[in-house]
Structure 1
Amino acid sequence: MQRTEHLCLMARYNQWMNAKLYHAAMTLPEAQIVLDRQAFFRSILGTLNHLLAGDTIWLKRFAQHPARFAALAPLQQVALPRDLKSLLFPNLNRLWQQRQWLDQLILDFSQSLSEADLDSSLHYANTKGVAAERNFHALLVHFFNHQTHHRGQASTLLTQAGVDVGDTDLLLLIPSEI
């Protein structure tokens, strides 16, 4: 599997898993969604907002890549989150609308990547304003890994609230070679 194919697989996994999480969360009353569960981002809503904020920050950085990916152009209309803990959307339904839009953008972006794009470095500033430079492919791997990590936290919070998210393994999306 080429690196670009792997990144497209991760984008599909991101979209699939987010749909599973949000549909599970929508079965709960709002009081359960916003309940402080002593998690790092406090609540189910806080954790899902963090995922959206982190994805938005990284995608806006990726938009600065020398290839100037057309798929990321719509991000120009999206404000840069102030930080990684703020509630961008205090309502699950509005958060879900933005999540669906962003997940489609991630999928379109991943499908626009070439192997040559992945070999360059990306210059960016972190959330504290410190300049950094990293291999672009490694940053994309981090981007998808970060999503998986925090979706695992959200899945745990939903399980603690009595909601079964169902199967979450990437294996379910990997094509069989038999």
Structure 2
Amino acid sequence: MGPRQEHFRMLALYNQWANARLYDAAGRIAPEALAEERGAFFGSLLGTLNHLLVTDRGWMARLEGESPRMRLDEMLHDDFSDLRAARVVQDQRLADYVHGLSEDRLAARLDYATSSGAPQSQPLHHVLAHLFNHQTHHRGQAHHLVGLVLGREATPVLDLLAYQRSTAAAAVEARQGTALPHDDGPPGRPPDDGPTGPGLAATRVQVAAMDGVMLADKEVPEPDSLGG
């Protein structure tokens, strides 16, 4: 596996992990609070999450050779459960696509049209870098809106380092047959002391080998920080 393949496969799996944690937290918010106007770029938390689904579907279509026109503020789903189900499907679809890419394909150019119809041509790895960066950008906005409603202590850690350290720990555990302590509490920041020790939260991760064999499927500790 080449370096770009490894990098973008990691980002696709991180994208699934972060969105799952964000939606777990957002699912604890009342429907009226989800839809409340909060001055965000796309208004509400529900609007922000819908925007991410709209754009991900648009980019997925471009990756598959189509260039649809789309309205960036379209509300695909007013119901959170429907939105969440669509998010899960979209994230898996993107992960499957990325895992099928070769180094040569990642380096090749992608021809597409913008939402206004303007023709564009870029290396595919540039397009994927934008797609995942765009996810992180607006997921950060959604993360902030979740925190406004639930409070900082109930807002999940979404750092890339948290995902990387968690999956690395799970892989080591699978190889060594050792058990790591974990906390069955909510997905946010834990108390100062607890089953995971100071400064650690727990998250469920799944680590699979390239042949599809599951190496680990359990909760492992992760860093409790905003930046590292």
- Smaller-chain TM-score bracket: 0.7 to 0.9
In structure 1, runs of 5+ residues without a counterpart are 65-75
Higher strand share: 2
Query: In 1, Cα distance between the equivalents of 2:159 and 2:90?
Result: 22
Query: In 2, Cα distance between the equivalents of 1:167 and 1:44?
Result: 17
Preserved CA contact (<8 Å) 1:20 1:165: no
Equivalent in the alignment of 1:2: 3
In structure 2, runs of 5+ residues without a counterpart are 173-228
Equivalent in the alignment of 2:130: 142
Q: CA deviation at 1:149?
A: 0.5
Equivalent in the alignment of 2:40: 39
Query: In 2, Cα distance between the equivalents of 1:81 and 1:154?
Result: 24
The alignment's C-alpha RMSD in Å is 1.8
Equivalent in the alignment of 1:125: 113
CA deviation digits over 1:147-168, x for unaligned, max 9? 0110000000110112433211
Q: CA deviation at 1:82?
A: 3.1
Preserved CA contact (<8 Å) 1:7 1:110: yes
Query: In 2, Cα distance between the equivalents of 1:12 and 1:167?
Result: 16
Preserved CA contact (<8 Å) 1:44 1:154: yes
Equivalent in the alignment of 1:72: none
Equivalent in the alignment of 2:103: 115
Q: CA deviation at 1:145?
A: 0.4
Tell me if 1:165 matches 2:143: no
Higher helix share: 1
Cα–Cα, structure 1 residues 6 and 155, in superposed 2: closer, same or farther, change >3 Å?
same
Equivalent in the alignment of 1:156: 144
Equivalent residues in 2 for 1:6-155 (5 A)? 6-64=7-65, 82-155=70-143
Secondary structure of residue in 2 paired with 1:161: helix
Q: Given residue 162 of structure 2, which amino acid in structure 1 is its aligned partner?
A: L
Q: Hey, which bits of structure 1, 4+ residues long, moved more than 3 A?
A: none
CA deviation digits over 1:15-73, x for unaligned, max 9? 01111111111101101000000111000000000000010000100011xxxxxxxxx
Q: TM-score, normalised to structure 2's length? A: 0.68
Which structure: larger Rg?
2
Instruction: Select the structure with the greater relative contact order (CA < 8 A; seq sep ≥ 6).
Output: 1
Preserved CA contact (<8 Å) 2:112 2:121: yes
Q: CA deviation at 1:134?
A: 0.9
Q: Given residue 32 of structure 1, which amino acid in structure 2 is its aligned partner?
A: A
The number of residues matched between the two structures is 164
Secondary structure of residue in 2 paired with 1:27: coil
